[in-house]
Amino acid sequence: MSEGSILEVRGLKKYFPQSGGRILRAVNGISFTLGQNEILGIVGESGCGKSTLGRLALRLIEPTEGQVFFRGQEITSLRRGALGPVRRAAQMVFQNPFASFNPKLRIAESLMEVCRYYGMSRVAGRDRIFALFADTGLSEDLLARWPRELSGGQLQRLAITRALLSDPALLVADEPLSALDVSIQAQLLNLLEDLRRNRSLSMLFISHDMTVVEYLCSRVAVMYLGQIMELASAEELFRRKLHPYTRSLVAAVPRIEGSPGTEAAALKGETPNPAAPIPGCVFASRCPEAEEHCRIEAPSLRDAGSQHLVSCHRVTM
């Protein structure tokens, strides 16, 4: 476990058995560390395994192989019953804020229920809720409201606030902005950045939006078909996009007219079936630069300097 890291995953795999004896490799050998006070972005197209990785990191699902360390403790070997302190210290925020509140409870009741769950008295829970509302810029008027009366932006701000009730050290946010309007997204991005800075929160920020990730994250891991293709600091990654897949993801971002041209063609074709075995590089079938060698031997994730990891035969180290 490296010094100062809050989360470390090693050789993590999650295979889902399918009908006909086939195996879907949703997460296929992922390792990284998340530093204290750091936001690590996990990006990639839909279906590449981001949500599965997020759930594995919190042990909401069991890995097929590999280990997860949270604050130095291996949580993958803990008994389920011993996970309480981990559940409290590591929280998840999901994509759809409309589905994340019980429609039959007023907001105050939903939040108090969580406080009770963490053993707070009524008074302590109330104080905690009011303090967090002040921090996250929420109006206390919302407490008396029903979820159906609120907007997506308000509900997501509330979902983030609810995740903070237990004063967690780690937040796994799975596409928390994807269901919201762009202007609301910007406000929530600022909120997340403030939380990182002021509460020494570490975050895994799952997204398919390269622009958001570039803005918010300290480091970024680019995933394709259950594997990491490239991992570097956000600054380094967006300056030197070493992997052809990263270049096509960035090229796929719509640009404002008159802005500089894109450096690579947006991706064509479909992701291969994750249940079909692939002998070489998983990206070779869609890679504009693939050579024969790429289809035969899988590359490994190597450091190309400046702690910039890339999994590509074409990159000379």
Binding site for ligand ADP (CB under 6 A): 16, 24, 26, 44, 46-52, 274
Candidates 10-18, 51-59, 138-146, 235-243: pick the segment binding Mg ion (CB under 5 A): 51-59
Query: Which one, 154 or 227, has the nearer CB to ligand ADP?
Result: 227
State the binding partner of 26 from Mg ion, ligand ADP, none, CB within 5 to 8 A by kind.
ligand ADP
> Cβ distance 158 to 137 under 8 Å?
no
Query: Rounded to an integer, what is the distance from CA 36 to the centroid of its chain?
Result: 16
For residues 202 to 221, the per-residue mask of contacts with Mg ion, x marking binding by CB under 5 A and - elsewhere, is --------------------
State the binding partner of 274 from ligand ADP, Mg ion, none, CB within 5 to 8 A by kind.
ligand ADP
7, 8, 38, 51: which one contacts Mg ion (CB under 5 A)?
A: 51
Query: Residue 226 Cβ, how far from Mg ion at the closest point, in Å?
Result: 13
Query: Residue 34 Cβ, how far from ligand ADP at the closest point, in Å?
Result: 18
Query: Residue 26 Cβ, how far from ligand ADP at the closest point, in Å?
Result: 3
Candidates 26-34, 50-58, 252-260, 300-308: pick the segment binding Mg ion (CB under 5 A): 50-58
Query: Residue 229 Cβ, how far from ligand ADP at the closest point, in Å?
Result: 13
State the binding partner of 47 from Mg ion, ligand ADP, none, CB within 5 to 8 A by kind.
ligand ADP
H, E, C per residue of 228-282: EEEEEEHHHHHHCCCCHHHHHHHHCCCCCCCCCCCCCCCCCCCCCCCCCCCCCCC
Query: Which one, 44 or 147, has the nearer CB to ligand ADP?
Result: 44
Vertex 175, ends 174 and 176: CA angle to 5°? 90
Continuous H helices in the chain: 50-57, 84-89, 107-117, 122-136, 152-164, 182-199, 210-216, 234-239, 244-251, 292-296
Query: Residue 278 Cβ, how far from ligand ADP at the closest point, in Å?
Result: 14
Concatenating the DSSP letter of every residue in 35-69 gives ETT-EEEEE-STTSSHHHHHHHHTTSS--SEEEEE
How many CB atoms are located within 10 Å of the residue 89 CB?
Answer: 15
Distance CA 50, CA 43 (A): 7
Half-sphere exposure of 258 (CA within 13 A, CB side): 0
Query: Residue 274 Cβ, how far from Mg ion at the closest point, in Å?
Result: 14
Contact set with Mg ion (CB under 5 A): 51
